[in-house]
Amino acid sequence: MDRQPDYMGHFTYRNGEMYAEEVPLSALAAQYGTPLYVYSRTAMRRQFERLKQSLDTIRPLLCYSVKANSNGAVLRTFAELGAGFDVVSGGELYRVRAAGIPADKVVFAGVGKREEEIEYALKEGILFFTVESESEVRQIARTAQRIGACARLAFRVNPGVDPKTHTYITTGKKENKFGLDAERARRACAEAASLSNVEVVGLHLHIGSQILDPAPYGEALCQILPLVEEWRNRHSTFRWLDIGGGLGIQYRLTEGSMNTACYAETVVPLLRQTGMSIVLEPGRYLVGNAGVLLCRVAVVKQSHHKTFLIADAGMNDLIRPALYGAHHEVCPVRQVAERLFGDLVGPICESGDFLAKERELPAVGEGELLAVMSAGAYGFSMSSTYNSRPRAAEVMVEGNRHQGIRERETWADLVRGERAWA
């Protein structure tokens, strides 16, 4: 039998019908409505364990990157497995805390942290902040001093490598806003060491996202190893090397996910020689293939050279195709043999409102369900209410159990918080 593509993972066909683990997607659509994000808890756990095992010789702290999918049920799934968390805002830290997870394994990144976010993170006692500018070091030091705390800092260094991914999700090249080049990082670090209320505890790297080739990780590490050595000798508190996330997943049949064994082969020897404690910040790798966006075809419309399948999900639910030209496989929930050529689009008033463009698609009719695959990462978390469309519901499946983990928003939610002009 052919190996099942990674993006199918725990979504499989039985008797011509797609299941999430043991549960037919059609049953979930009937109970929770569409559009609906459906996640496989087993798939998430499996990805976590797979990555952990590949790296077991260095026993890294795997900090799940909350931005990929920030639902509390997802966060708790990883917390149970011993994960830490990578957050980029006070809101993400709040979500972690609201899920009942302690802050001591949380790392806080981001180029523009606000004072109230810094204060909140200090009070919660996070593991460290990653810092990306000299001015941020001073801001954090001031806040720490004001509230009588000590802030642990890891400096984000921009290694100037090209991870060969989409330009919007490349972060470690010279022209990106992220990180400090080695020379500036040295200066910022020296300044930090002279300040009270801050401690230099680490170095941070994150070169980009959806990376399928381990080589750029090796390149980036080689770039920063001398600095690690230097700081290790200089600062007794320096012990964390955070190598970021970015491990890619399978979106198309013609590509594979990052092979974690190859990734480990590339990075482990380099990491071991540093003697540092290692942090990773995977997001997409842990959740991307563990979720689908389930939608229903509302209208089938023929145009002169193609067919439009107009679904009840649109760019507000899943913006990746519109924003990055990202490819997501589209599978029928009830298998059909025929294919058609056309677009899967949403009901939004924008020509960019597509989930799949000018492709072979399953020839389904009105009222049929489609699963947009690999939508577990940066799907719901990037969704909006554009065109005043309430955000979709989310459901978690494990084995034959399923549970709504976020209610569908209502029209009343859309106007909540608005005030009439008086």
Q: Which stretch binds ligand LLP (CB under 6 A): 111-119, 134-142, 377-385, 407-415?
A: 377-385
| Residue 105 in contact with ligand LLP, rule: CB under 6 A | no
Cβ closest to ligand LLP, residue 169 vs residue 336: 169
Q: Kindly state the smallest distance separating residue 310's Cβ from ligand LLP, in Å.
A: 23
Instruction: Of 301, 359, 350, 292, give the one whose Cα is nearest residue 323.
Output: 350
Beta bridge partners of 372: 293, 330
Is 150 annotated as catalytic? Answer: no
Cβ closest to ligand LLP, residue 136 vs residue 368: 136
Quick check: 293 and 323 in contact, CB under 8 A?
A: no
Structure tokens of 420?
């009439």
Beta bridge partners of 406: 394
d(C-alpha 422, C-alpha 123), whole Å:
39
| Residue 378 in contact with ligand LLP, rule: CB under 6 A | yes
Q: Which stretch binds ligand LLP (CB under 6 A): 132-140, 192-200, 239-247, 351-359?
A: 239-247
In three-state secondary structure terms, 347 is coil
| CA-based R_g, the chain, Å | 23
Structure tokens of 331?
């599978």
Instruction: Of 272, 249, 110, give the one whose Cα is nearest residue 177.
Output: 110
Query: Site for ligand LLP (CB under 6 A): which residue of 244, 314, 332, 342?
Result: 244
Residue tagged 């600095």 (tokens): 227
| Residue 163 in contact with ligand LLP, rule: CB under 6 A | no
The secondary structure of residue 349, as a DSSP letter, is S
Query: Site for ligand LLP (CB under 6 A): which residue of 36, 109, 195, 396?
Result: 109
| Residue 159 in contact with ligand LLP, rule: CB under 6 A | no
In this structure, the number of other CB atoms found within 10 A of the CB of residue 202 comes to 27
Cβ closest to ligand LLP, residue 202 vs residue 283: 283
Query: Site for ligand LLP (CB under 6 A): which residue of 40, 65, 77, 250?
Result: 65
Q: Kindly state the smallest distance separating residue 132's Cβ from ligand LLP, in Å.
A: 10
Number of residues that bind ligand LLP (CB under 6 A): 22
Query: Site for ligand LLP (CB under 6 A): which residue of 68, 195, 212, 322?
Result: 68
Quick check: 390 and 414 in contact, CB under 8 A?
A: yes
| Residue 108 in contact with ligand LLP, rule: CB under 6 A | no
Q: Which residues participate in catalysis according to the annotation?
A: 349
